[in-house]
Each structure stands twice: as C-alpha cells, then as structure tokens.
Structure 1
Amino acid sequence: MSSRRTPVLALSLAGLAVVAALAWYVNREQSEGLKADRPGLAATVTATGAAAPVRVEAQTVRALALADDVAAVGSLVSNESVVLRPEVSGRIAAIRFRDGQAVERGEVLVELDAAVQRAELQQARANLTLAESNFGRTQDLFARKFVSQSSLDTARAQLEVARAGVALAQARLERMQIRAPFDAVVGIRSVSPGDFVKDGDALINLEDIATLKVDFRLPEQYLDRVRRGQVVEVSSDVLPGERFNAVVDAVDPLVDAQGRAVRLRANLDNPDGRLRPGVFARVRLILAERSGVLVVPEAALVPAPGNVQYVYQVVDDTVRRVDVRTGVRRNAVVEITEGLSAGAVVVTAGQLKLRDGAQVTLADAPSGVALAAD
C-alpha cells in the first residue's frame, strides 16, 4: 500500500512545482507589460523606496495695508429739497422756468396775477405821500407855536401807519411771485398758466443735487466705532463699476429700538449731477486703516475638524503643517492673525496630495499676494 502512494505523491509534487513556475512567469510578464505601458509608474518610487516630490503651487505671505470696513445699503437724498407752494390763492399769470432747468437762488419761477396787490401798493404809497405832507406842515406849525404837541404826535403816528401800509402792500405783492430759495434744479411741473391755485397747493419741486446726502443704517454694535469724518465708499447700479467717496457728516444720537440700528448721514459731492436723489446705494464705511496685515490667498487654507484651519508651509523643499488663525476676508484673500510671518511660502494648490513632511517641488517661483490697498 505504501509503495503505491509514493509515485502518486511524487507526481503531485511535480505538478505543484510546474503550476508555481507558470504563475511566476505570468506575473512577471504582466509586470513588465504594465511598466511598458506606464513608464512613469516606476519613477514614483526612488531606489531607496521614498516617495517622489509632489509638484505644487505656492505664494509668499505678504504684509499689506488693510482697511476694517462694514457694508450697508442706503439711499441718496438731495442736499436741499423743497416743494414750492403759494402762500395765497390766485391765478397763475406766468411760469418762468423750463422743466428740469437749473435755477439760481432768488430767481422768479412762478408769477400769480397781482393786479389787486399792485393797486393796493399804489394806494398805500399815495397815503404815505399825504401823511408825509401832513407831518411836515404840522412840524412847521408846531415850531411856530400854532399847534399843540398832541397834534404833532398824531401826525407822526399817521406817517408811521402810512409807511407800514406801504410795507404791507409791498409784501403782499411780493408773495405773488414765487422765487427759488436756493440754487437747484426744478422738477416737472403739473400746473400751467391760467390755473387757479389755492394757498398750500404743490406747484413744483426743487432739488439741490450739487451735493447729495447718503443715508444708511448700521447695527448698534458699531456705535462706538463710527464718527464724523470717516470715509464712505458709495456705488450704485445706475453707474456700475464706479465708486464715489463720501464723508460721514452726522451720526443720529437715537438708536432705532425696532431694528437696533443707528442712522448715519454722509455728504457726497456730485458736481456733474450723474447721481440723483432717491437712487439705491451700496455703502462701504471704512472704520479704520491697519498697516502690516499678513494675508494669504483663501485657496491656501485647509479646513480640519474642530473648526481648525491650517496651511502647508514650504521649508527647504519640505512642507510643514501650520495651524493658523484668520481675520477678515476680502477679494479672495484672508488675514492671518497667528501662525505665519511675512515672507513665508505657503502651498496654494495641490494640498490633497500632501502630508506633513512631504517633499515638494514648486510649479513656479512663489509670488506675492495681490491686493489693492482699500
């Protein structure tokens, strides 16, 4: 029985040896073929077994001047705005302006029919002439002791009444002319010559737009950081891409209890009249200017669990993980308040391939962070 098993065992062992040799040969051929198809694969590992350097992009941390600011929305308001209304009733005799015309202070815009007022003024002047004559004669008679002191006083009083009558008639006549109270641009009228208007009826609006006011609100937590004289950048959809500088002129002492906001007003020069009252405005209030602020591109930051952020800093062709604290963000850059110093080189692209201590090569020479001074 034992003699029969010996040849079978020998044949089995020989078969296993042939199968093992065949498997080794097939694996060798596949490996050689893979290397031929992907010649770069073998290059990823060095002769010592270390990983090849990872190609990354990097930029240099720079110290720049940065402005602390807050954004808000507001409205443009005329520097001066008024709706002209007559003080007395009357019929419009003439309109002395064109719609949208620029007018000067004191210029007559609307005249009401003043025939009655002119007649009253003429009558008052005649009474004044008579009173002056009577007073002159009374003075002469009093000097010659022909009239008493009482007669002289009466004549003097009548003269003063006549003078007041002229002034009153003159004032009534002037009220029939409606004048511009300040340099402005008139609006679009809704009345015509011949219309009868009552006292208080709206005739035309006047807007002083050479200077505009910018009204906006900020949350109450900024109350101790706002003051007169701060610079405000104003932009509007009516002039896309353009910015205008204004200056804070007033801070409302009353905080709105409903919205918990403080109201501010800034003055904006508008000599060309390109902006108009009532326009929606975007406002950027510069609270303070800081110099030496360290900034890096937002792309350099890598988030980690626990609300942690870090960057890969390049040191002698090796990356080192550095946890950082950030500040304000603007224009795709972020302020670094802790963790880095000016001149450090940080990776901005390729972080997914990295680990702490990995070897790297830079795709380009590190460049500085571009940020316009705000």
Structure 2
Amino acid sequence: MPGNRKLTVVASLAGIVALAGAAWYANRTPPAAPVATAQGNAATVVETAEVRRVAMADEAAALGTLRSNESVVLRPEVAGRIKAILFREGTPVKRGAVLVELDAAVQRAELQQARASLDLAESNFRRTEDLFARRFVSQSARDESASRLEVARAAVALADARLRRMLLVAPFDGVVGIRQVSVGDFVKDGDALVNLEDISVLKVDFRLPETLLPRLRVGQALEVGSDSLPGERFAAQVDAIDPLVDAQGRAVLIRASLDNPEGRLRPGMFARVRLILEERPEVAVVPEEALVPSPGDTQYVFRVVGERAERVAIRTGVRRDALVEVLEGLAPGDRVVTAGQLKLRDGAAVRVVPGAAGG
C-alpha cells in the first residue's frame, strides 16, 4: 500500500510538470496576425460595383382601365315582337349584319300599299305630260300631277324606312355579347337587347398629375400591362389628352390605344400604364444596394479609393430594375461598395472581393 501511494504522487507531479511546460511553450509562440493594410489597420471585406452608363427612359406610371374601341347596346327604335335572333352569343359579326329581326308584317303591307300608289301616280303623271304637250291640260294640272307623284315617292320612302327599323343591324365589326331576350318577346322602344364590342383595338384611360402636362403630347409611346397576364407588356400610344384638368385631383385624363388582334385583353380589365416621357441614351447608375440607409433626404454611398472607403453624398434620380440614377456626386468608372458597407465608416480600410454586383 505505501508503494502505491508513492506511485500516485509521482504520476501527479509528472502531470503538473507537463501542463506547466505546455503553458510556457504556448506563451512563447506569437498569435496569428490579422489581415491588415499597408498602414497597419484591419481591413473590412467588401464587394463593389462600377458606376456605369446605361440607356434609361424617363417615364411616368399610372393605373387605368381598358375600354372597347367601339361599344354599343342595341336597342329597338319601335316596339314590336321579336321574330328572329340571327347571331350566336360571344361570336364576331360584320358591319351591316342583321342581328335581331322584329315582326314587320304591318310595315311590309304599308310599303306594298305605298308602292301601288306610286305606280298610279307615275302613270297619271305620264298621261298628264302627254296631254300637256298637246295643250289639252293647263300648266297647273301638270304641276298638280307632278306634286302627287312626289308625295307618292315620299310615302314609299317613309314606308321603307319604317320597315328597315324592324331590323337591328351591327353598326361596326365587333363581338356580340350576351343577349337579354328570346324569340317571341315583346320589346318596347329603347329596351336593351344585346351589346356589341369592337375589341380588335382597345382604349386605355388613365390620369397623370398636372405637373406633367407640359411633357405630354399625342403620339407618345407607352406600355400597358395587366395583372391577368403577368410579365407581358403591350405597346400603345397616346391618342388624346383631355383639355380639362380635374379640379379635385389636379390630374389630367389621357386616352391611349393599343392593338388587340388576338383578343387576349378585354374591356373593363385593370391596366398598369408606363408612359415614356423621354429616352435618355446615357445615364449614370449604381445598384440599389449601394445606397447607405440614412435619415433625411440625402443619399450616401461608399466610394472605394485605393484601399480606403470614402462616404460620399449623392443626388439620385429615377429608380428602375434595381438601378438608381446618379445625378451628382459620382462619375462613371468610380467603384462603390455594394456589400459590407454597414460595417464601414468614412476613411475605413477595405479589401475588395469579387461579388455578384460586379466586383
């Protein structure tokens, strides 16, 4: 037993000596040096992008509504009973096509009667002309016969017009909607029968602030999008500018038109409008992520000069496609920090690494 205690004590002393030696060796070894610049300050790792020039359009955005190029609700001018419906709902029709026919038996009889009276008046006039040429009748008798002929002709024209009013025809090429009546229905004058829409061309109405009025003109190009067709854009152009400015909203109403040959857009749909005010071929831009959040209206970025970051105040313009226009403060070719700027301060040392922003 005494021998075991001596071995335990010796082993403990050896362990203590080993630990003390390891500690002494560790204290002798210098620690690893941090990344430093030539001036000896630790550098912050950042990503950068170059200030570059791109083509950018000066534009205005608005919300609008699509409308038919032409739209009408067919209504009869006279009361009558529907004899025939000559169209299929939701199908295209040509201008002049008969869509609804009312019972016109009375009107046809009136036209036949008027034509018979016209035949008699023409026969009497020819006979009177012959007698007048042989001086058997007076000038007044000839004039009276001619007047009766003109009255007969007018009666035929009137009866024919009344007959034609019993037919409802398409006033333009378009697509008929959903009818509200059936064959045999008795309709009054002015009752709505069916709508007709010309959707080969669509109109889009939207409003812009009155401050843009001096920059608006007929013929300007614009793009129209719809939430129903995400990601698609349709070319359009300004057709008219309302001369009256809305006194409440201080906005001006603008109407544009766009081709819709496939009928993918429909009247009444919500539209997002992008009006191009001016095309600018060279605009200095930086990525949006280069902007440093700061209170107030002033915008800042960090510009890399050598191995240092400079905090620069800039004046910005329009923003589009994750790019920001730079009006003042930077020049093309400058490099700005796009990642890591939250750890920077003015004059801080930086080490640039490649990144998605173009470092």
- Taking the TM superposition and a 5 Å limit, the aligned residue runs for 1:104-143 are 104-143=94-133
Pick one of 13, 19, 34 that aligns with 1:43: 34
Aligned residue among 301, 307, 327 for 2:317: 327
Matched, 1:280 2:270: yes
Corresponding residue for residue 15 of structure 2: none
Q: Which moved more, 1:181-190 or 1:355-364?
A: 355-364
> Secondary structure of the residue that 2:198 maps to in structure 1?
strand
1:291 to 262, 271, 281: 281
SS across alignment from 2:65: strand
Q: Matches of residues 1-374 of structure 1 in structure 2 within 5 Å?
A: 29=23, 32=26, 42-44=33-35, 50-304=40-294, 307-364=297-354
For structure 2, which runs of at least 5 residues remain unmatched after alignment?
Answer: 1-19
Would you say the 8 A contact 1:345–1:366 is kept in 2?
no
Question: Using a 3 Å threshold, how does the CA distance of structure 1 residues 306 and 155 change in structure 2: closer, same or farther?
Answer: closer
Q: 1:343 to 1:247 in 2, by over 3 A?
A: same
Local SS of the residue matching 1:69: strand
Contact 2:118 2:156 in 1 (8 A): yes
Q: Distance in 1 between matches of 2:263 and 2:231?
A: 17
Aligned residues: 339
Q: Percent identity?
A: 66
C-alpha displacement of 1:191: 0.4
State the AA in 2 paired with 1:362: V
AA aligned opposite 2:84: A
Q: What is the one-letter code of the residue matched to 1:336?
A: V
Closer, same or farther: CA 365–190 of 1 in aligned 2, 3 Å: closer
**Structure 1 runs (4+) greater than 6 angstroms displaced:** none
* Deviation by residue 1:17-44 (Cα, 9 ceiling, x = unmatched): xxxxxxxxx9x959947x89xx65x334
1:118 is aligned with what amino acid? R
Question: What is the distance in 2 between the residues matched to 1:160 and 1:131?
Answer: 9
Contact 1:54 1:361 in 2 (8 A): yes
Q: Which residue of the partner structure matches residue 6 of structure 2? A: none
Contact 1:61 1:368 in 2 (8 A): no
Asked whether the equivalents of residues 292 and 342 of structure 2 are also in contact (C-alpha less than 8 Å), the reply is: no
Report the alpha carbon displacement of residue 368 of structure 1 after superposing the two structures with TM. Answer: 5.4
* CA distance in structure 2 between the aligned counterparts of 1:219 and 1:142, rounded to whole angstroms: 77
Which residue of structure 2 aligns with residue 10 of structure 1? none
1:12 counterpart residue number: none
Query: After superposition, what is the alpha-carbon deviation per residue over 1:140-189, rounded to whole angstroms, capped at 9, x for unaligned?
Result: 11111111111111111111111111111111111111100000100000
**3-state SS of paired residue (2:190):** coil
The CA RMSD over aligned residues, in Å, is: 2.4
SS at match of 1:267: strand
Which amino acid in structure 2 is aligned with residue 110 of structure 1? V
- After superposition, give the CA deviation of every residue in 1:238-264 in whole Å (9 maximum; x if it has no partner): 111111111111111011112221111
Residues 1-21 of structure 1: CA distance to partner in whole angstroms, max 9, x if unpaired? xxxxxxxxxxxxxxxxxxxxx
Distance 1:367 1:213 in 2: 41
Q: Give TM-score scaled by structure 2 length.
A: 0.88
The residue matched to 2:90 in structure 1 has which SS?
coil
Task: State the SS of the aligned residue for 2:40.
Answer: coil
Q: TM-score, normalised on structure 1?
A: 0.85
What's the secondary structure of 1:233's corresponding residue? strand
CA contact (8 A) 2:90 2:178 kept: yes
Query: Is the CA contact (8 Å cut-off) linking 2:51 and 2:286 kept in structure 1?
Result: yes
Distance 1:219 1:125, change over 3 A: same
Q: Is the 8 A contact 1:62 1:368 kept in 2?
A: no
1:221 shift after superposition: 1.7
How far residue 340 of structure 1 moved from its aligned partner, in angstroms, is 1.0
One-letter identity of the residue aligned with 1:85: R
In 2, Cα distance between the equivalents of 1:87 and 1:317?
Answer: 85
Q: CA deviation at 1:314?
A: 2.1
